[in-house]
Amino acid sequence: MSFAQLFTGYWWLMFPIFGMFIAVIGMVQSENRNRKVLDLIKSYVEQGKEPPAELLKMAQERSDYDMDMGVPAKRSDGIWTFFVFLALTAGFSVGYWWVRAESWSFAFLIVAVTMGVLAIGSLIVALVQRRP
């Protein structure tokens, strides 16, 4: 198998690999930021001084941020996720309707049903999630 054949068959893999690379860089940068804040707090404590309230607040915010898998939740995030999945469901349903006579139209139907299930799930999550 030549490189051209390999690239032609698997060119789309560059997008998830790039996404994973960017995610790793983000995690490393977040870890370095957290470490610097904690080191600064540690230096204040070792000197017998009270760390500034802003520094403690930053450490607490970072802790909350990391517990949420790196994504700070907003009140309206869940409902927007529902609308995004609903729009994708509608788009793929229309796509299926237009090509329903073709032998490969089941692909649109599978994606439309999957997006519909995700829309229902995100609506349930949005309705039952705890509000800060």
2, 51: one domain: yes
Cα torsion angle, 39, 43, 46, 49, sign: negative
Domain count, the chain: 2
Q: What pLDDT does 68 receive?
A: 52
Same domain, 66 and 88: no
Is residue 5 domain-shared with residue 65, that is, in the same domain? Answer: yes
Q: What is the DSSP string of 88-114?
A: HHHHHHHHHHHTTTSTTTHHHHHHHHH
Q: Which token pair is 4?
A: 């051209």
How do residues 55-97 score in pLDDT, each as one tens digit?
A: 888 878 755 555 555 555 555 677 889 999 999 999 999 999 9
What range defines the domain where residue 66 resides? 1-70
CA pseudo-torsion sign 37, 38, 41, 43: negative
Residue 91 and residue 66 in one domain: no
Token pair recorded at residue 28: 């490393």
pLDDT of residue 67: 52
Select from 50, 70, 90 the last residue of a domain. 70
Q: Is the pTM of this model over 0.75?
A: no
Most confident of the ranges 26-35, 87-96, 98-107: 87-96
Mean pLDDT value across residues 17-37: 92
8 lies in the same domain as 65: yes
pLDDT of residue 129: 79
- Considering the domain architecture, whether residues 89 and 57 belong to the same structural domain is answered as no
Do 63 and 16 share a structural domain? Answer: yes
